[in-house]
Structure 1
Amino acid sequence: MKRITLLSALLLSATTAFAGQLQLGSNVRVLTLNGEPVDAYHQNLDIGPGSQVITVRYDALFEANAEDHEFVRSPVQVIRFESMPNERYMLQAPIMDLRQARHFAEDPHFQLTRSDGERIAHRTWSRDELLAELLARP
């Protein structure tokens, strides 16, 4: 029994040692991570090393006053990037006023950086672009 407990502890610590994290900025909503649904409004997501595929959208609430508000949501975007073990990444959208947010939501471009601020290369598709690319393959 002690061996099983020790083995379980070692496996758990090894898994944790390789885990990274994706932090979401304000108004960034991840819908899925590697095909798995993500609970609404999570700000920190655990990720493993290797290829990461997320579906994301810009999702902001603007309140003019207590009775007047507007949601601004972009279409879903698909982002793919490669993550390294034990690295922290941030996915952000710019801070904007309502007019800027409406314009941004038409064609969102999210910024992906490491914790040291270095930008991370990634590929982004709209759902239509991804579908067209997949259908064009032989």
Structure 2
Amino acid sequence: MSRKEWLAISFFAIMLAGCAAPGPAKLYEGALRPAAETAMIRLPEQVQVMALDGQEQTGSLLQRGQLLAVLPGEHVFSLRYVELFQINSEEHEVVRSRQSALRFTAVAGHEYRIEMDKQGSLEVARKFAKDPKFRLVDESSGAVTESTAIKSYAEASLVDTITKAFDSSDSKTQGPTHLDLLKDVWGRASPEDRAGFRVWLDQQPK
């Protein structure tokens, strides 16, 4: 890519950003709700939301550096790191990471921000892209939630289902074992979910 082409792309990107509609992107169905009834999540420029609660996002929701509005409750973001590095006046490289699942509980009226370590060089970014780590910080309490690496939206959904089942089991003095819960989830999982879980399981420490 020539320097002129690079400058032209940068110019149009700035123009599009300036024309973007103000206010948060609404990630829920139904009528617009007051800010006190939703949770606001701020994204850095280098992070894209690929899916929310297993539902793939498209169009404007793939833009970066946004403010998002979600309903209170448990959610799972599938996130991806994307950053452009200018190698020289003629060359550049766009680094895109694998996806990472971030499960969190949104509280109405709270504001959150998604963070990641700053990538100071192309080599560092390439390494980070292989195993990206994101953090969700509650602006009110300072509580931090960290992400888990995944390879598909289905895998994010399955990881979330299993985690919720474990949390439910841990809160009871008696009930099904973790093995029972795994068998139950496996029996209800789709072929895509099972394939995603096998990949995730292979990556876990033995």
| Paired AA for residue 62 in structure 2 | A
Question: When you count helix as a share of all residues, which structure comes out higher?
Answer: 2
Q: Does 1:20 align with 2:42?
A: no
Distance 1:28 1:123 in 2: 13
How far the C-alpha of 1:22 sits from its partner, in A, is 0.9
Q: Label 1:41 to 1:58 Cα distance change in 2 as closer, same or farther (>3 A).
A: same
- RMSD of Structure 2 on Structure 1 (CA): 2.8
How far the C-alpha of 1:110 sits from its partner, in A, is 0.6
Of the candidates 79, 97, 106, which is equivalent to residue 130 of structure 2? Answer: 106
How far the C-alpha of 1:48 sits from its partner, in A, is 1.2
Question: When you count strand as a share of all residues, which structure comes out higher?
Answer: 1
Q: How does 1:1-138 map to 2 (within 5 A)?
A: 15-16=33-34, 17-34=36-53, 35=55, 37-38=57-58, 39-42=61-64, 43-96=66-119, 97-116=121-140, 118-122=142-146, 124-127=148-151, 130=155, 137-138=182-183
Which sections of structure 1, spanning at least 5 residues, go unmatched?
Answer: 1-11
Give the number of aligned pairs.
126
Distance 2:104 2:62 in 1: 22
| Paired AA for residue 136 in structure 2 | L
Q: Retained in 2: the 8 A contact 1:51–1:82? A: yes
How far the C-alpha of 1:36 sits from its partner, in A, is 5.0
Distance 2:107 2:117 in 1: 25
Structure number with greater CO (CA < 8 Å, separation at least 6) is: 1
Distance 1:33 1:118 in 2: 23
Q: Label 1:100 to 1:119 Cα distance change in 2 as closer, same or farther (>3 A).
A: farther
Q: Retained in 1: the 8 A contact 2:100–2:147? A: no
| Paired AA for residue 40 in structure 1 | L
Q: Retained in 1: the 8 A contact 2:102–2:134? A: no
TM-score (norm 2): 0.53
Q: Retained in 2: the 8 A contact 1:29–1:56? A: yes
Q: Retained in 1: the 8 A contact 2:42–2:113? A: yes
Q: Retained in 2: the 8 A contact 1:63–1:70? A: yes
Q: Retained in 1: the 8 A contact 2:52–2:77? A: yes
Q: Retained in 2: the 8 A contact 1:111–1:119? A: no
Structure whose CA Rg is larger: 2
- Segment drifting more, 128-137 vs 82-91: 128-137
